[in-house]
Structure 1
Amino acid sequence: MRKYSQKLKFSIVFLFVLFLSCEKKEEDPIPVKGPVPSTYSLEFISELHDEIAESSALIEFNNTLWTLNDNGNENILYQLDPNNGSILKKVSIKNAENIDWESMAQSPEHIYIGDFGNNAGNREDLVILKIKKSELGAFDEVSAEKIFFSYPDQNNFNPTFQNHNFDCEAFFFANNQFHLFTKNWANNQTNYYTVPDMQGNHVADFKEVFNVSGLITGADINRSTGDIILLGYTNAGVSSQSFLWLFSDYPDFNIFNGEKYKITIGNIRDLGQTEGVFIKDDNSGWISSEEIVAGALRVSPKLFRFDFKNFF
């Protein structure tokens, strides 16, 4: 009888401990991701070919990267091997001049080129080029639809070189519209606008402004999670630091009203001028830079990889 009583007590204690253990597991949050760091070292992949020394944009689809040169270069898109940065294919846009191509975006069926670089602030021909993905794979020369736009708050078109807030080098596509982020030379902030994905002439819709403390040169969105990444650098000449802004958990595309993190990724003397960024569904991705030539200093264009899935 005593042995039975001891066994019964043991069973009751065991069940009680098991119950508490189950209760604790249900109540305690399970840590999934670590804190977002303030600095991060990119993984170097390769230097880029001199033919794309001014690589200014980056997207990925069908397991290859695409980039372009900016500001008066040829009207050509370059397909790259993501593992070594080598050029796989070139496709020219036969009905579009490269006035100042600065960014690329994509939807499931199309890629988009942002010809809206505007260093002097006097352009009145800002345009987004729309190209079918199916044609990029099939041809070496394609045509683009054109979507023109202007800024609602720009009234002065007198040239003021790099001393205004109407330059743009960054956009992505989401919810059937383009999301543009300006490169504000005058105040080191970024203005956020949207433009509809329709042919015609549009006045961009101003959304909000955010102090990025630098110059924004690239943007992308994780199409699965909605996480957004902005790429830029501080406006300090050859001492400039490249950085990323990460945005998540924002309400109704009020992007700057959610969680936000800034990560410094290095000096442009080591990286080059970081301009292109693409983020994958798992929050890893690539960054490209264009060359820097400043007196005796020459920094080659480069391709890098990042992996933020452990904290973003």
Structure 2
Amino acid sequence: MPLAAALLLTASCSEAQSDKSKSGKNKTAKSASKSGPQKGGDRRKDKAAAAEITGLQRVGSLKGVVPESSGLAPGSTAQSYYSFGDGGNSATLYEISGAGKLVRTLEIGEPNNDWESLSRDPQGNYYIGNCGNNESTRRNLSIYRVRLDNPQQAGKINFSYPDQTEFPPNKKARNFDCEATLWNEGKVWLFTKDRGQSSTSNVYTVPEQPGTYTAKKVTSLAIPGQVTDAALRPDGHRLVLLGRGELFILDGNTWADILKATPRQVSLEGAGQTEGAVFKDSNTLLISTEQGELYEYTFAQ
């Protein structure tokens, strides 16, 4: 069966199942993203809770380096990564070390309306998701395609959603905010952050080439949380959707299988407002938070 047809058969949602920590406690009885981890709060208790999460280790800080880090992608070397500030910050990519030390900055030649994600294709093109849409009111959604040897020259992939007819729709139907995008198989994939009440991340695609498009809706995933970033393992067999204080892990031998997989849910409660994720290697995820913390998460399996 062609891949496109296989993907279209995945329109039904699957129930998410939760991982349990080695202590035996179910960390995911409630989705951290629905209650929030909120800014402020008792950070001492948060840090203590984060320190107890199996596989999670704080490795550095982005404080004073990247304002409100909202995404991560591979850098110019195997030991560096790119991040950026959330909407309202400058149109800047920050190259950082794995401990959060600044390597260099790059000014991008397009505005930061609401940057939320960053990914790279095998040819070295970077895709900046300028598609944050908190209130589902934006009509200027785009993804910038940039080569970092010429960051001032950015191509624009403008897009709209095929199923959005109101700006904004009623609050229960606000599922047009996208903070997670990635390049895969010649397309840019978008995973929405559900701000309504359906606990669903809708999956769309747009072409990788600059132009103006109506996004194609491929499927919907049952995700009991608000998706803030996406990362694909280098071998293509594991997709991680980051939430606010949690991970959703989908495994499969093919991309079509991954989009039909039952998500495994892992709590990161106490880590903060987790916003950026990138694979360091096949078993390790680098995670950034809006508060400026940098973590590594090692997968148990």
TM tier, smaller:
0.7 to 0.9
| 2:246 counterpart letter in structure 1 | F
Residue 120 of structure 1 deviates from its aligned partner by: 1.5
Q: Which of structure 1's runs of 4+ aligned residues deviate more than 4 A?
A: 159-163
Q: Is the 8 A contact 2:65 2:102 kept in 1?
A: no
- The 2-side partners of 1:254 and 1:66 are apart by 29
Partner of 1:150: 160
Residue 110 of structure 1 deviates from its aligned partner by: 1.0
Larger Rg belongs to:
1
Residue 302 of structure 1 deviates from its aligned partner by: 0.6
| Sequence identity percentage | 31
Gaps of 5+ in 2: 1-17, 22-52
Q: Deviations over 1:74-108 (max 9, x none)?
A: 000000011x21111110012x0100000001112
Relative to structure 2, which stretch is displaced further, 47-56 or 61-70? 47-56
Q: Is the 8 A contact 1:192 1:208 kept in 2?
A: yes
Q: 1:207 to 1:251 in 2, by over 3 A?
A: same
Partner of 2:133: 118
Residue 280 of structure 1 deviates from its aligned partner by: 3.8
Gaps of 5+ in 1: 1-35, 234-241, 292-300
Q: Is the 8 A contact 2:108 2:152 kept in 1?
A: yes
The alignment status of 1:38 with 2:52, answered yes or no, reads: no
- The 2-side partners of 1:101 and 1:160 are apart by 24
Residue 198 of structure 1 deviates from its aligned partner by: 1.3
| 2:230 counterpart letter in structure 1 | A
Residue 49 of structure 1 deviates from its aligned partner by: 2.3
Partner of 1:210: 221
**CA RMSD between the two structures:** 2.1
- 2:102 corresponds to which of 87, 105, 129: 87
Residue 122 of structure 1 deviates from its aligned partner by: 0.8
| 1:52 counterpart letter in structure 2 | V
For 2:268, what is the secondary structure of its paired residue?
Answer: strand
The alignment status of 1:98 with 2:112, answered yes or no, reads: yes
- 1:74 corresponds to which of 70, 87, 90: 90
Equivalent positions of 1:186-265 (< 5 A) are 186-187=196-197, 188-233=199-244, 242-249=245-252, 252-265=255-268
For 2:68, what is the secondary structure of its paired residue?
Answer: coil
- The 2-side partners of 1:162 and 1:275 are apart by 23
Residue 162 of structure 1 deviates from its aligned partner by: 9.5
- The 1-side partners of 2:65 and 2:281 are apart by 30
For 2:234, what is the secondary structure of its paired residue?
Answer: coil
Residue 259 of structure 1 deviates from its aligned partner by: 4.8
Residue 163 of structure 1 deviates from its aligned partner by: 6.8
- 1:303 corresponds to which of 286, 294, 299: 294
Instruction: Flag the structure with more relative contact order, 1 or 2, with Cα contacts below 8 A and sequence separation at least 6.
Output: 2
| 2:192 counterpart letter in structure 1 | T
For 2:224, what is the secondary structure of its paired residue?
Answer: coil
